[in-house]
Amino acid sequence: MKVLALIDSSHYAVSVCDHGAWAANALSAPVELLHILERHRSDARIAADRSGRLGINTRETLLAQIVALDEQRNRLAHESGRHLLDEAAARVRQGGIEGITQRLVHGTLIDNLREHERDAALVVLGKEGEGAGDAGSHLGSNLERVVRGSHRPVLVTSHTFHPIRRFLLAFDGGASTGRAIEFLVNHSLLNDAGGHLLMVGEGTESQRYHLEDATARLHASGLSVSHHLRAGDPDDVIPQAVKELEANLLVMGAFGHSRIRNLMVGSTTTTLLATSTVPLLIVR
């Protein structure tokens, strides 16, 4: 079991290292730092597309220069990636973790995630990547794809790490929030934090039963939690509760059977991730 931390050169990299070290300490697990050199369309192909009207000698010379430039760029990217991983390892080591593995790989984020998360208890990544605002950004634009595609809980970090002393679990009684409860029961990630379970609903008998049952399961595992049932729109109620209850972490399922589903797979996903000042632990 390990903590898998996805590292890039964005301003979230330090936060990913700090959250990764915190999680590794809580889980008594090592950390694997993963930096991915993604493949891009070859400059040589672009040059070929634009050189159709050039003479054969000119075209061959141009393509040779582009290939050489591409090779140089790849070498520099590799060296930069190694340096980035060394810095990340030093930061995680400052957090008290000695079991650190560094991985520099080529390919796509999603394909490498599937391979490297197999023996992970948790995946950690930043809210935004090094190309934030660019359709091809490394982590930012792929964040929802990571949450959808990962088979492990995903910790989406805030800009700066703060000690996790209190968490809020947005609970809707669905399968994925049930798995969030199961994760907290079976792992020691939040054993030192107090918690709140929040259900947004009208207070039906079924809702109260599921909420009280989940609270009892967490109590039985040694977690200190209280539960709340509030009416309203989850898009408004959950952020308000995070602030009111002074939660340092929001825990939620990636999918559900109520309006909470919209927080991860609907139109409010980008808004929630962009405006939240606390990290999110997403369990699918």
149-174 residue pLDDT tens: 889 999 999 999 999 999 999 998 88
- Domain CATH code at residue 219: 3.40.50.620
Asked if 276 and 193 sit in the same domain, the reply is yes
Asked if 136 and 7 sit in the same domain, the reply is yes
pLDDT band at 271 (very low <50, low <70, confident <90, very high): low
159, 12 Cβ separation under 8 angstroms: yes
Domain count, the chain: 2
The pLDDT tens digits of the residues spanning 4-43 come to 999 998 889 999 999 999 999 999 999 999 999 986 544 4
Domain that holds residue 6: 2-39+76-157
Cα separation, 194 vs 18, whole angstroms: 20
Terminal CA-CA length for the chain: 18
Report the side by side order of strands in the sheet with 31-37: 100-106, 31-37, 2-6, 120-126, 154-157, 280-283, 249-253, 166-170, 194-200, 225-230
**253 occurs within a structural domain:** yes
Burial class, 245, CB count within 10 angstroms (exposed 0-12 / middle 13-18 / buried 19+): middle
Among 157, 190, 221, the domain boundary falls at 157
The pLDDT tens digits of the residues spanning 53-63 come to 556 677 777 78
**56 occurs within a structural domain:** no
Among 125, 157, 189, the domain boundary falls at 157
Q: What is the rounded average pLDDT of the residues 233-237?
A: 86
Cα separation, 238 vs 198, whole angstroms: 8
pLDDT for position 134: 43
> Which pair of structure tokens corresponds to residue 123?
């995946």
